[in-house]
Amino acid sequence: MNRSHPLITALAMCTMGFLYLPLLAVAVFSVNATKYGLVWRGFTLNWYVKLFSNELILNAAWNTLVLAVISTIIATILGTILAIGMDRFPWSGGTNTTLDLILHLPVVIPDIILAASLVIAFGLLRLVFSIFEPGLINMIIGHITFQVAFVALVVRSRLVSLGSDVEEAARDLFASTPYLLWRVTLPLLLPGIVAGGMLAFTLSLDDFVISFFTAGPDSVTLPLYIFAAVRRGVTPQIHALSTLVLLITIVMVVGTERLTRRSAKK
């Protein structure tokens, strides 16, 4: 067995430390008894107790969850349909290139540009239809606009890896289009759909720019709340909140990875 060079191992360990030591520091200070400063004053869970009794944080958490769940469900459905449509239906070379470019645009465009574009679009819609006031509906639409592209790219990569042999075999056995889609294509795509949905969900959870530009007074999310709170000074409650969000994300990622493995084995 070939052993890695000590320098490569050291660089890998430094990289891991650079990535995860700040997160560990936040978790440690979330159970520190001191309210200000970096001095360790003892272990306490008091900040977590106060966190769950803070109505502003609970409302922000609820808005964040509703926004992430609704936008992820819609984006996953639309992204899956888009991926299947682009990969399994005949398109001319020029059309396929154009669709591929359009699909990648929300991924490569800076968030600030997309957010400013959404503000203009919603402003025009308000002038014409007198709807789409800043709030949760606008935030859901804004999140869907960039989530769809990520879901479609993940699902499409799964489609490319699967190929079309199984679907052609099903067609040879006289499978109808609905049967083929429901009993063959979608089960094979399930790991990619789940992975794309989880990616969209995590992107929605930590999005700040688009939420900031489209939010209303009653639709504050956790990233917006943390931003406003940090400007007044970082408190242990912010550390506790950040730690909980991190733990929830880790649990979701691990659960998704195991679900994807089981689906792939089947």
What tens digit of pLDDT does each residue of 177-199 get?
777 777 777 888 888 888 899 88
The region that residue 42 occupies, defined by phi over 0 for left and psi between -120 and 50 for alpha, beta otherwise, is left
174 domain-assigned:
yes
Residue 162 has pLDDT above 50, yes or no: yes
**DSSP secondary structure letter of residue 53:** T
> Cα–chain-centroid distance for residue 199?
4
14 domain-assigned:
no
Cβ-proximal residues to 140 (8 Å cutoff; 6+ apart), any chain: 67, 70, 71, 74
If one counts the domains in the chain, the total is: 1
Domain containing residue 143? 46-265
Rounded CA separation 81/132 (Å): 26
3-state secondary structure of 110: coil
167 domain-assigned:
yes
1 domain-assigned:
no
Per-residue pLDDT tens over the stretch 98-144: 888 888 888 888 889 999 999 898 888 888 877 778 888 999 999 99
18 domain-assigned:
no
CATH number of the structural domain spanning residue 83:
1.10.3720.10
* pTM (predicted TM-score): 0.82
What the block records as the tokens of 266 is: 């089947």
Return the CA Rg of the chain: 23
**Is residue 107 within 8 Å of 174, Cβ to Cβ?**
no
Rounded CA separation 253/262 (Å): 14
Cβ-proximal residues to 68 (8 Å cutoff; 6+ apart), any chain: 143, 201, 204, 205
36 domain-assigned:
no
Ranges of H-type helices in the chain:
6-29, 46-52, 55-88, 93-108, 111-129, 136-162, 165-172, 177-180, 186-205, 209-214, 222-230, 236-265
Per-residue pLDDT tens over the stretch 199-239: 899 899 888 999 999 988 888 898 888 888 877 777 788 88
Instruction: Report phi then psi at 5, rounded to 5.
Output: -70, 140
228 domain-assigned:
yes
Question: What percent of the chain shows pLDDT beyond 70?
Answer: 94
Residue 266 — very low, low, confident or very high, per pLDDT cuts 50/70/90? low
